A = this chain, B = another copy of it.
Amino acid sequence: MKKNDIPDIIISRLPIYLRALRYMQDQQKETTSSQELGEHVGLSAAQIRKDLSQFGGFGKQGTGYNIRFLVENLREIMKVDRVWDVAVVGMGDMGHALTRYQGFTDRGFRVSMVFDNDQRKVGTSVEHFLVQDIHNIVPAIRGSGIKVAMLCVPAASAQQVTDLLVEAGIKAILNYAPISLSVPSGIRVQYLDPSIGLQRMTYYLD
């Protein structure tokens, strides 16, 4: 099946399924149903079945899903059955927090380079990483072959730094800066903007 055959919205739900299934594994569960998985992630059983059928199913009518089998397949589909090196750009509070974040373990990612433009930070250490000068970011990332970056610079410089990341060969950017980024086609951006997360809920509040 070609990549483009599967809608982005379905791909965007797979990591949610994987997180819920890993949680079930931690609870020593071995099988689950589309009903149960749906309750975990707030979707209907029909939606779960429809999404997973895009990849050929994984379950048998009546017996449900083998969790370990489904986890292995989802990890392979999302290509997180390997470990991706990630560059963190901007060593402010958020960049620091991400560099020290323990939650990437076993989920397909590890921080492997960190950058800042502040000469007082360049050359110092964050965790066991040497903070590199953002002025060298293009050759540094190109040389490493890193494809994934987390962008934690202020909004005012986020687009400029993004252009450098694209030039450096980065294909996937997790953006913490609270602005929309402009990137060439073929480059993926995901936004982790806390205001967006909060604004998605206030609509429902009294």
Interface, chain A (partner B; CB < 8 A): 3, 11-12, 14-16, 18-20, 23, 40-41, 77-80, 84, 86, 92-94, 96-98, 100-101, 103-104, 107-109, 147-148, 150, 155, 171-172, 174, 178-180, 188, 190-205
Give the residues in chain B near A92, CB-CB below 8 Å.
Answer: 97
The answer on a CB contact under 8 Å between A84 and B155 is: no
Cα(A16)–Cα(B148), bound, Å: 23
Closest CB of chain B to A176's CB: distance in Å?
Answer: 9
Residues on B with beta carbons closer than 8 Å to the beta carbon of A203: 3, 11, 14, 77-79
Contact in complex: B194, A79 (CB < 8 Å): no
**Cβ–Cβ contact A200 & B15, under 8 A:** yes
With known contacts A180-B20, A205-B79, A107–B195 Cβ distance under 8 A: yes
CB–CB B180/A190 < 8 A: no
Known: A3-B204, A96-B93, A96-B97. A86 touches B172 (CB 8 A): no
Q: Within 8 Å CB of A103, what residues of B?
A: 155, 178, 193-195
Residue pairs across A and B with Cβ atoms less than 8 A apart, 12 shown, are: A3-B204, A14-B199, A15-B195, A16-B196, A84-B205, A92-B97, A93-B97, A104-B194, A104-B195, A148-B205, A172-B198, A172-B201
Q: Are A194 and B150 in contact (CB under 8 A)?
A: yes
**CB–CB A190/B195 < 8 A:** no
Residues of B within 8 Å of A193, CB to CB, are 19, 103
Q: Which of B19, B101, B198, B200 contacts A86 (CB 8 A)?
A: B198
A53 to chain B, nearest CB (A): 17
Interfacial chain B residues near A77, Cβ < 8 Å: 203
Distance in Å from the Cβ of A166 to the closest Cβ of chain B? 14
Say how far A205's CB is from chain B's closest CB, in angstroms.
6
